[in-house]
Amino acid sequence: MRIVLFILVVFTAISCQNNGGSGAAANLDGYITENVGGGVTKAIKRNASGDVVEEGYLSGNVRNGVWLTFHEGEHAGKVKSIASYSNGILSGPYYELSNRGQIDREVNYANNQYNGRYAVYKFGRIQQESHYKDNQLDGVYREFSSRGDLQKEINYKNGKQHGKMRYYNEEGQVTVEYDYKNGEKVSGGMVETPASDEG
């Protein structure tokens, strides 16, 4: 619960600072709206059972600030996703959470595009991490085992493989390494690992 509260505070601060372009007006079919003053409206959507499934704020009929979705059924009331909007456009951190409150996915947006860190988790452990610039992979992409050990590492530039691509064994040693330039493999192959001491 502390994680969710911390994330909400961070989102609110970031949302108040973002003043990018203007997005489309929100579709409010099925939402209950309430004027909270200062040109701001709170929108809430409930399912057939009456449980809140989504809520957030509007300014001038466009999404602004933090928007939450909630799990349904036996996990009703638990946050499912946290998104930050600026003038109807996804802008800032976005999180998806499991019904246990653990982060499953973390993305950073700017103008409805991935910009910055993108990470996937399973049971609170990182499985995949990458970086984006204008919706294209840019930087190091990493995959991890269920124990959290690094398995694969690929460098990207402007959406294309550029630099080293490495595979690791369970001991953390590089077993395969390739060099890429502008999406083309230029060299590499199997890497000899030191033999383990026996006896």
Place of tokens 């910055």: 116
Digit-by-digit pLDDT tens for the chain (199 residues) are: 444 444 443 444 444 444 444 567 788 889 999 999 999 999 999 999 999 999 999 998 899 999 999 999 999 999 999 999 999 999 999 999 999 999 999 999 999 999 999 999 999 999 999 999 999 999 999 999 999 999 999 999 999 999 999 999 999 999 999 999 999 999 999 998 776 554 4
Distances (CA, A) of 11 to 7, 17, 65, 82, 120: 6, 10, 7, 8, 19
**What CATH number is given for 111-199 in this structure?**
2.20.110
Instruction: Enumerate the domain spans of the chain.
Output: 1-101, 111-199
pLDDT at 25: 77
Residues for the chain: how many in total?
199
Q: Which amino acid is at 138?
A: D
Distances (CA, A) of 9 to 15, 72, 82, 193, 194: 10, 24, 11, 47, 49
0.85 exceeded by pTM? no
